[in-house]
Amino acid sequence: MVTADTSTTSETRDTEQAGEVVLRGVNISKTYGVTRALRGVNFDVRRGEVTVLFGENGAGKSTLMKILSGVEQPTAGHLELDGEVIELASTTDAVERGISIIHQELNLNPNLKVRDNIFLGRELLSVRGINYAEQSRITREVMERLEEPISPDTYVQDLRVGQQQIVEIARALSTDARILIMDEPTSALSTTEVHVLFKIIRELKRQNVAIVYISHHLEEAIEIADRAVVFRDGELVAKEDAANIDLPWVVRTMVGREADYDFRDEPREYGDVVLSIQDVSVYDSVSEKFPVNHVSLDVREGEIVCLYGLMGAGRTELMETLAGRDKVAGGRIMLDGKDMAGRSISDRIQRGMGLVPEDRQRDGLIKLQSVGKNLSLAGLSWWVRNGLLQRGAENERVKQQIADIGVKTAGPQAPITSLSGGNAQKVVIGKMLLTDPRVLLLDEPTRGVDVGAKGEIFSLIFKQARKGLAVLFVTSDVGEALTASHRIVVMSRGHLVTEFDPREATREDVMAAAEDSTPELLSAEAPGAHATNGADG
């Protein structure tokens, strides 16, 4: 437990010089059994600079960040802080030395309040015990810096994924760190929230904070970088000043080739309407608002529709309502002409509606099970004969699915936790494909996934669409919306506000539509766009 006095750290930073090396990794290696995650990495972090780490999932970036933040210790090599060799035995040890991390996968306790998560393990004390009032005050101050109206007294389990990511960021900022490690800090943030975070990063740079930044959103990472470091297969393969790099260089250096997915010129032959959303509204009794308000949309056989919008637009609420998690306050959801009113989640899966959730770690995977068991979970009834599960048929289908969707794994018995983010996401998608769906709902299908895996995931989705699968997917990445869909529908404040043909629209068109939530937009025309009122024909 600690007191609230952080003046010493601030005063120390004032005497430091920007550009000086503050933290260095010397010949760092890390092995897990026979797997070498890092191979002799030499890496330094400088005061007042943003060092961006690029690399595909499994390249070694997150492993290095865990070592720098005390989560894990290197198998070989050592760390130097201010020129002195150190050993970080734990994250607490790292925080005490001024090193803080924002984790890629949310590292929060859902049963605690926001305030308690931010100060977990370093509670502020008064003569009466924990000083909850002071913790709440500091939490409010940090949230004001982040321009987020999240109450200190809200339970984390009541927050959406994007809001939980804000809490992760707030916790790191509250430590007044000298070295701040950001591992995928924007993966669930809206465009506006990213801009606010970047403003704070620039403010921290002026205070001589050293920042290490990892993101699969390559363009935004290039924007904020002072230096770029590229990892591949556990090795540091390139270092360069940010002024000398561009997107093609990053992709080429990461994967050894150019980015290879852009499906805008795909042939478009659609069949009958599979999913018909008819004037659907959803009521949230907590906020006493309608996160989904009179939404109408049709998705046809073989069509991939992108639902684009900012956090809080109502996209996730709509997807969960379609899957049966939330109740409809008004309107109808039709699947192949049949009303889904009153149908349970399992019944909707049986009838051909599959959801790939936004939070794959919490809602999409069972971490204690193998790759094979995770794949077959949603479709077990397909292999039941006379009340008995046909293990042989299940195993054969799982093996075939692993090959079909391109999961890189040692086999069906491998732990699901052994997979990279991209391969884990393929398993979540493959699990729903094994249920033989008519329509596939994907909520942020490439969140936290590297550029190479993104192309593989969208190739898989388009392959299924060519077979007649109807697809509705949510994304906050406008680049994905433009290159990986047949039609873009923009959602804002619970309404569908406009629609684009990705072959004609620009990034600016789509982003402006999502930012502008005025009623006039419902009847406004944008280049390559038309307003959406009622069900699409």
Eight-class DSSP state of 219: H
In CATH, what number is assigned to the domain containing residue 486? 3.40.50.300
Around 162, how many Cα atoms within 13 Å sit in the side-chain half-sphere?
Answer: 22
State residue 64 phi and psi, 5-degree precision. Answer: -60, -40
Task: Tell me if 96 is assigned to some domain.
Answer: yes
Task: Tell me if 464 is assigned to some domain.
Answer: yes
The position carrying tokens 């293990």 is 391
Task: Tell me if 264 is assigned to some domain.
Answer: no
> At residue 248, does pLDDT exceed 60?
yes
Under the banding of pLDDT at 50, 70 and 90, the label for residue 18 is low
Measuring CA to CA, which residue among 443, 379, 499, 421 is closest to residue 214?
Answer: 421
Q: For residue 432, give the 3-state DSSP assignment.
A: helix
Angle between helices 247-255 and 451-466 (to 10 degrees): 90
SS3 letters for 373-415?
HHHHHHHHHHHEECCEECHHHHHHHHHHHHHHHCCCCCCCCCE
| pLDDT: which is higher, 160 or 93 | 93
Q: For residue 474, give the 3-state DSSP assignment.
A: strand
Task: Tell me if 161 is assigned to some domain.
Answer: yes
Q: Total structural domains in the chain?
A: 2
Residue 96 sits in the same domain as residue 203: yes
Determine the Cα–Cα distance for residues 83 and 67; give it in Å rounded to an integer: 17
Query: Which whole number is the average pLDDT over 274-288?
Result: 87
Residue 304 sits in the same domain as residue 211: no
Residue 456 sits in the same domain as residue 309: yes
Under the banding of pLDDT at 50, 70 and 90, the label for residue 417 is confident
Residue 217 sits in the same domain as residue 307: no
Is the separation of the CB atoms in 180 and 100 below 8 Å? yes
> At residue 497, does pLDDT exceed 90?
yes
Task: Tell me if 149 is assigned to some domain.
Answer: yes
Which of 210, 226, 255 is where one domain is finished? 255
* pLDDT tens readout for residues 342-392: 899 889 988 999 988 877 777 778 888 888 888 887 766 666 677 776 777
The partner residues of 499 in beta bridges, in order of sequence, read 489, 530
Residue 220 sits in the same domain as residue 292: no
Determine the Cα–Cα distance for residues 462 and 471; give it in Å rounded to an integer: 9
Residue 250 sits in the same domain as residue 276: no
Q: Max alpha carbon distance in the chain (Å)?
A: 76
Task: Tell me if 6 is assigned to some domain.
Answer: no
Query: Which whole number is the average pLDDT over 226-246?
Result: 93
> At residue 418, does pLDDT exceed 80?
yes
pLDDT at 524: 32
- Under 8 Å CB-to-CB from 395, ≥6 apart: which residues? 372, 412
> At residue 105, does pLDDT exceed 80?
no
Is the separation of the CB atoms in 185 and 29 below 8 Å? no
Residue 119 sits in the same domain as residue 230: yes
Residue 240 sits in the same domain as residue 337: no
Quote the percentage of the chain above a pLDDT of 90: 40
Mean pLDDT of the chain: 84
pLDDT at 508: 82
Task: Tell me if 9 is assigned to some domain.
Answer: no
Query: Domain containing 153: what range?
Result: 18-255
Under the banding of pLDDT at 50, 70 and 90, the label for residue 493 is confident
pLDDT at 468: 94
pLDDT at 256: 66
Under the banding of pLDDT at 50, 70 and 90, the label for residue 11 is very low
State residue 245 phi and psi, 5-degree precision. Answer: -120, 160
Residue 64 sits in the same domain as residue 205: yes
SS3 content of the chain, % helix, strand, coil (to 5): 35, 25, 35
Task: Tell me if 99 is assigned to some domain.
Answer: yes
Least confident of 14-28, 241-255, 258-272, 455-469: 258-272
pLDDT at 464: 92
Give the angle subtended at the CA of 339 by the CAs of 335 and 341, to the nearest 5°: 120
- Highest mean pLDDT among 55-59, 261-265, 472-476 belongs to 472-476
pLDDT at 257: 55
Strands 21-32 and 388-389 turn out to be unpaired
